[in-house]
Amino acid sequence: MISSYNLHEAPILIIDNEPENCRLLSDILKDAGYRNVIISADARDVVGLYALHRPAVVLLDVQMPHIDGYELMSQMRLLDPNGFPPVLVLTEATDRDIKLKALSSGAKDFLAKPVDPAEVIARTKNLLEIGMLHRELRNQNRLLEEKVRERTRQLQESQIEVVYRLARACERRDQETGEHILRMSRYSAAIARGLGLPPEECDLVRHASPMHDIGKIAIPDSILLKAGPLTEDEWVIMRVHADMLSDGTSELVKAGQVIAFTHHERWDGTGYPSATSGEDIPLYGRICAMADVFDALTSKRVYKAAWPVNRAIDEMHRKKGNHFDPALIDVFDSILPEIIEIKNGGEGNRYRGAKA
């Protein structure tokens, strides 16, 4: 509810090229208890006064020299498109076209000259109440939007946290540390950014890539931890691990499913599970394939020692055009300093201080 105090403190701007009219209207409103009345008899000063005082209602003569009231309404609206206050037009004219033009320019009500003091007070009060109610509604909507954004952010952070925790649990099953998924996610985001993907897609790739091997949680230790080569039957079990993410509804899970299902595909079609080739392999899968292999080569595994970075890079170049998308290898080369920084424990130039 609008209090009488708030109503009488609201700034009111009066614009009339006749100074006597300005003073008359000001006296009427001040006698009625309105304490913040600003007047102007020169239309050229109005935009500055409007910007300074941000009135809650405007009493405006439309027939003025220099700048007419219609143009003034247009200029004031440009200053405050979302909070343009109610305008009470002052006019001696009774012409229908003038009133329609005023209404189409933003006017909310009319006050005939010569003015009736009681009518001035009543119409001004009505428009003040309407304007202040609209302002309160806008403020409430803004607060609600901020709460929705904050809740959405918290929900997204919760989803991401669950993804990383589950992915780390999967990695530990085959004696990897959680650092593998952190490095791989950062490599993937760096490659996506180097490719020129929008920031929101880079973030999506970064947070979905930890799910690339989520199906490890359902693979027996006898296969997952086997130091020697796998049998064909064991490979069949390894190749179905992406199914856990099928039928996801969120963008994050959908992207994770794509990555899990396609990051073992190869550019030349010799990968698995679908033997897809070239650009038929989804881009996220091609990106994460490179990130996963680079980290696998440069990390210690149960079946191998960690390779030096230079040797890993040479190996990836050797597989350009058969295992990896040639264009992505070129991108990888262009961001190599950032890749090496991530490998050495840094976040990468654009991820310093960012959360996992």
162 pairs with which residues across the strands? Answer: none
pLDDT of residue 46: 87
- The length of the chain is 356
Angle at 120 between CA 117 and CA 121, to 5 degrees: 90
pLDDT of residue 247: 67
For 13, phi and psi rounded to 5 degrees?
Answer: -105, 125
Q: Is the pLDDT of residue 140 over 90?
A: no
DSSP string of 327-354, one letter each residue:
HHHHHHHHTHHHHHHHHTT---TT-TT-
Average pLDDT over residues 159-185: 66
Catalytic residue numbers read 216
For 76, phi and psi rounded to 5 degrees?
Answer: -65, -35
Q: Is the pLDDT of residue 3 over 60?
A: no
For 115-264, strand residue ranges (E) read: none
Average pLDDT over residues 212-232: 65
Q: Which residue has the higher pLDDT, 332 or 176?
A: 332
Residues 83-133: tens digit of each pLDDT: 778 888 888 766 777 778 877 777 788 888 888 999 999 999 999 988 888
Burial class (CB in 10 A: 0-12, 13-18, 19+), 159: middle
Percent of the chain with pLDDT over 70: 79
Which residue type is seen at 327? A
* DSSP three-state, residue 299: coil
Most confident of 34-38, 47-51, 73-77, 151-155: 34-38
Residues contacting 177, CB < 8 A, separation 6+:
171
Q: Is the pLDDT of residue 303 over 60?
A: yes
Strands in 57-61's sheet, in edge-to-edge order, are 37-40, 12-15, 57-61, 87-91, 107-112
Please name each of the domains of the chain with its CATH number: 4-144 (3.40.50.2300), 174-343 (1.10.3210.10)
Q: CB-hemisphere CA count at 13 Å for 224?
A: 17
